[in-house]
Amino acid sequence: MSEWFGRCQTKGLSDVQYLTDTMPDNRDLLGFANASPNLLACFFRNGRVRLFGSCWLFDPQSRGWNVVYMEARKSGIFKRKLAWEDNTENFRQALVRIEAFARQIGCDDFAEIFFRAQAVLDGEAAGGPEPSLALPEHNRRLFEAAGVADVFGGMGSWNDSPAGIAEEQGQKECYDKLSQELLQQIRSAVLYAVNEW
């Protein structure tokens, strides 16, 4: 990654933004690597904008993954940086609603996770190790709260037994609505946190 970044700098890189989908169609796929499109938008001094996306290549010898960033050649994507709004209050409200719902259906472990994410967002608890990107305090809290609240994945995740419990209790529609809202707020929080400072 540092080699790629250095090469971009020699070509006049002036800024980078992280882009991702805030409304994924299928939350069940989020347990798999590279299930969501993640892009880096690179802005160059000469006015060029280039998108770079990750391509995951399996290495059978090491039995691991090599992640290569490849340029997506799309002309006329956009000419200036995108802007994101601070969604702190919407994120907090989504956490409050899904925490209450998790308690209602008897998923107290997940309710505690959502409660902890609120505390991180409000600066009342630490989110974990310091992110490698030196973010301003408010942005760091948003970023860390998003990390705590991101419970979407495979077995053992919010996508697993809570979905079945909600369905058994006739609450599947509410589960889906609140889960989609939370995921959108998590993604929006990350986009704001890393791009708006």
Give the domain ranges of the chain.
2-72, 88-195
pLDDT for res 71: 83
pLDDT for res 33: 57
CA-derived radius of gyration, the chain: 19
The pLDDT of residue 76 is above 80: no
Provide the 10 A C-beta neighbour count for residue 53.
Answer: 15
Distance CA 19, CA 52 (A): 10
pLDDT for res 149: 97
Provide the 10 A C-beta neighbour count for residue 141.
Answer: 23
**Which residue from 69, 23, 19 is spatially nearest to 39, judged by alpha carbons?**
19
Helical pair 137-149 and 172-195, crossing angle rounded to 10 deg: 150
Model confidence at 60, in pLDDT bands (50, 70, 90)?
Answer: very high
**Which residue from 33, 40, 147 is spatially nearest to 91, judged by alpha carbons?**
147
CB 162 within 8 A of CB 111: no
3-class SS shares of the chain: helix, strand, coil, % to 5: 45, 20, 35
The pLDDT of residue 73 is above 90: no
- Provide the whole-model pTM: 0.85
Query: Which whole number is the average pLDDT over 8-23?
Result: 88
